[in-house]
Chains A and B, each alone.
Chain A
Amino acid sequence: MKEVAVQTRAKAGTLESNDIYIMVEPREDGGITLDLDSPVMRQFGRQIEKVIRQTLEDLGIKNIYLVAKDRGALDYTIRARVETAVRRACGG
């Protein structure tokens, strides 16, 4: 996968039930930094983080700062919101 660079700050998703709010910021280096908050952190925190990291890898993102505020989102929603935020941050 070709490396893609995030250009600007962008967000996607909501704080409503079953959704996840994602905010991303560009990073020139330093890899991926996640700041994750979820009411089910103990049970599913690792799985949510795995889905976020896999989605970023699929999108070719190597350096990013990502804030995620989960409200009980399933994997498909996490993937969709991360993808939307990254697309927006890359200029659509």
Chain B
Amino acid sequence: MKLRRTMLFMPGNNPGMLQRAGVFGADSVIFDLEDAVNPAEKDAARVLVRNALQTFRYEMLETVVRINSFSGGACGEADVHEIARAKPAAIMLPKAAGQEVKILAGLLDQIEKEEGLPGGSIKIFPLVETAYGLVHIDAIISSSPRITGILLGAEDLTADLGIKRTKSGEEIFYARCQVVTACKAAGIDAIDTPFADANDPEGLKNDTLKAKSLGMTGKAAINPRQIDTIHEVLAPDEAEIKYAQRVIRAMQEAGKEGKGVVALDGKMIDAPILARARNTWEKAKQAGIRSGSYEEYSR
């Protein structure tokens, strides 16, 4: 299970940022060839990002490249031809729809074959940021087995819906629920939209708590300063971890007695609650809060 709590956007035409990408502590970085790059510099950004990917060993850092769209005269196809040969972990597709994902997957099939890369090794991260994309999210997810997660883009989505984007985020409640449900059903990551005000840590914390409460597994960041806050909020807290341990222990005891269900603090514990407890344990392990297997720990 790849830990993908934070995905940090970095402008693709900024050499200083690209070479420092690994030091900020994000789980993933998104080298942006789309909104963060001036239209006259798209070619330069594409070449710079390709060279960065070919030069630096980003070690544990997942490298994702947001390309331009395939439609409206944008240069998405040129981006893919240049970038995919440098083997990023994933390509992020803006304003995704099922048909565009299929075009991207087809290009990747062809490039992986030409370059002798294992088929399907470059993943796809669709960006759901239109009303159409949100309504057709299941079709997007099922359009390629390369899809490893969905990023919700609330700025473009609210613009498309003709509504105001607010810090409290009530207007994206439905979109968040839709993205989380579709992603969980498909077993992929649901990544929340970035919080746009990099100078409001309290607002970021509240926004991340909301995303977490709805089931988002990670959150995009637009500034390295946002990373620690997001990691803190998304990591399981001590009470959650202790409860998970008690659930696991109780189920192990029940198993010894041949029972599939047991009561803990007056509440029924069964398979789904055990699965959630194990998931909490895994997240705690990945976040470095605990180590070892839960079986070992719960003895």
Complex: A84 Cα to B44 Cα, angstroms: 6
A-B pair number, CB within 8 angstroms:
46
| Residues 1-50 of B at the A interface (beta carbon under 8 Å) | 15-16, 19, 43-44, 47-48, 50
Interface window among A1-9, A13-21, A25-33, A37-45:
A13-21
List residues of B whose CB falls within 8 A of some A CB.
Answer: 15-16, 19, 43-44, 47-48, 50-52, 54-56
Q: What residues on A are CB-neighbors of B51 within 8 Å?
A: 76-77, 79-80, 83
Q: Is the CB of A80 within 8 A of B47?
A: yes
A73 contacts the other chain (CB 8 A): yes
Complex: A88 Cα to B44 Cα, angstroms: 9
Q: Is the CB of A92 within 8 A of B44?
A: no
Complex: A75 Cα to B16 Cα, angstroms: 12
Q: Is the CB of A76 within 8 A of B55?
A: yes
List residues of A whose CB falls within 8 A of some B CB.
Answer: 12-13, 16-19, 73-77, 79-81, 83-84, 87-88, 92
Given contacts A76-B51, A77-B51, contact A84 B16 (CB under 8 A): no
Residue of B nearest to A75 (CB): B55
Q: Smallest Cβ distance from A13 to chain B, in angstroms?
A: 7
Q: Is the CB of A80 within 8 A of B16?
A: no
Q: Is the CB of B44 within 8 A of A17?
A: no
Q: Is the CB of A17 within 8 A of B16?
A: yes
Q: Smallest Cβ distance from B87 to chain A, in angstroms?
A: 15
Q: Is the CB of B54 within 8 A of A76?
A: yes
Q: Smallest Cβ distance from A21 to chain B, in angstroms?
A: 11
Q: What residues on A are CB-neighbors of B50 within 8 Å?
A: 80
